[in-house]
Amino acid sequence: MNKITVQKYTSSLDQLHTDLIVTTMFEGEKPPRSLMGFMDWRLHGFLSRQIKNGFFSGQEMESILIPLHDKMPARRLLVLGLGKKENYTLGTIKRATEKLARIFSDLNIQDTAIRLPNLEREQNKGETEGYIFGSLKSSNAPDGLLVWWLDLKAFDC
């Protein structure tokens, strides 16, 4: 099992110095919402243009890596497609965390900030979050990885 440190992050993203921010999008989600909507706003509609031009659609496990070039203290943004919202299950989360672990390893990520949507029918508060971190800890993510779990208040715009 990997040694991964998980911490909640509730401050402004303008103060978050991290290598990678991970956000997600459901297939057909227009306009981008939540963290992705915030990042799209900060990038002056760049993500919306990628969707409009057919470069990114939110299909399950589709991903796009974007350098932030001083738009924020974070170095890069990764957008991960989750497929159709009605098909979002623990299986989707498991596949997403496996893909993220590979990306973290391939890019030699030391710290990242992530937010995946909660399951629509969580039986217990924090169930989705717990499952994500359990999956990351048992994955091939780099040892010593610091993961900031973005609290919704951190990206209210």
| pLDDT classification of 128: cutoffs 50, 70, 90 | confident
Contact in structure between 22 and 112 (CB atoms under 8 Å) = yes
Joined tokens for residue 33: 């919402």
Under 8 Å CB-to-CB from 87, ≥6 apart: which residues? 60
Q: What is the pLDDT of residue 154?
A: 45
Q: What is the pLDDT of residue 1?
A: 56
- Segment 56-76, tens digit of pLDDT: 999 999 999 999 988 888 999
Q: pTM for this one?
A: 0.90
Q: What is the pLDDT of residue 156?
A: 43
Quick one: what percent of the chain has pLDDT higher than 90? 51
- Chain position carrying tokens 């989707």: 92
- Segment 101-118, tens digit of pLDDT: 999 999 999 999 998 888
Q: Say how many domains are in the chain.
A: 1
Quick one: what percent of the chain has pLDDT higher than 70? 92
- A 10 A CB-CB count for 29 gives 19
Q: How far apart are CA 94 and CA 132, in angstroms?
A: 7
Joined tokens for residue 131: 């499952």
Helices (H) and strands (E) in the chain, counts: 4, 6
Q: How far apart are CA 15 and CA 46, in angstroms?
A: 22
Weakest mean pLDDT among 4-13, 29-38, 50-59, 147-156: 147-156
Which residue range forms the structural domain that includes residue 19? 5-155
Q: What is the rounded average pLDDT of the residues 127-144?
A: 83
Of the candidates 100, 34, 22, 88, the one whose C-alpha atom is nearest the C-alpha of residue 59 is 88
Report the CATH number at residue 91: 3.40.220.10
